Amino acid sequence: MTSSSAQPWIDLDVPASELRLDPTLTCGQAFRWKATGSSEWTCALWDHVIDLKQTQSSVQYRVLGQLPAARANVEEALRDYFQLHIKFDALCDAWAQTDPDFEQLRKTHVGVRTLRQPVVETLLVFIASSNNNIKRITMLADKLCQHYGQSIATEKGPFHTFPTLQRLNEDPDIEGTLSQLGFGYRAKYYAKTVNMLCSSHEDPEEFLLGLRTAPLDTARTELLKLSGVGPKVADCVCLMALDKSDAVPVDTHIWQVAQRRYVGRVLDPKEGPEMLKLLSQDHRDKAVALARQLKASKAPTTKTYEAAQQLFIHLFGDFAGWAQGLLFSGDLGQEPKKKPKPTPSKRKSTQSLPSANERKMRLRSNVKE
Nearest to 136 by CA among 195, 176, 175, 186: 186
Question: Apex CA 95: angle with CA 92 and CA 97, to 5°?
Answer: 115
The proportion of the chain whose per-residue pLDDT surpasses 90, expressed as a percent, equals: 75
The average confidence (pLDDT) of the chain is 88
Strand partners, 367: 130
Q: Judge whether residue 270 has pLDDT over 80.
A: yes
Pick from 239, 31, 22, 256: which is nearest to 133 by CA? 31
Q: Rounded CA gap, 324 and 194, in Å?
A: 30
**What are the pLDDT digits (tens) for 8-24?**
999 999 999 999 999 99
Q: What is the DSSP letter of 259?
A: I
For residue 159, how far is the Cα from the chain centroid?
22
Distance separating alpha carbons of residues 254 and 188, to the nearest angstrom: 28
Pick the catalytic residue: 87, 143, 192, 232? 232
Q: What is the pLDDT of residue 337?
A: 41
pLDDT digits (tens, 9 = 90+) for 138-176: 999 999 999 999 999 999 999 999 999 999 999 999 999
Q: Is the pLDDT of residue 304 over 70?
A: yes
The one-letter amino acid code at 369 reads E
Closest CA to 77 of 68, 88, 66: 66
Q: CA-to-CA distance for 158 and 67, rounded, in angstroms?
A: 12
Q: Which helix (H) or strand (E) holds 292?
A: helix 281-295
Higher pLDDT, 349 or 274: 274
Q: Given the DSSP bridges, would you call strands 2-3 and 151-153 parallel, antiparallel or unpaired?
A: parallel
Note the pTM of the prediction, 2 decimals. 0.87
Distance of CA 216 to the CA centre of its chain: 17
pLDDT tens profile 346-367: 443 334 444 444 444 444 444 4
- Band (90; pLDDT cuts 50, 70, 90): very high
Instruction: Write phi, then psi, for 67 (nearest 5 degrees).
Output: -80, 155
C-alpha 347: how far from its chain's center? 42
Tens of pLDDT, residue by residue over 221-239, are: 999 999 999 999 999 999 9
Q: What angle do CA 361, 366, 369 make, to 5 degrees?
A: 145
**CA-to-CA distance for 151 and 145, rounded, in angstroms?**
9
Q: Is 232 annotated in the active site?
A: yes
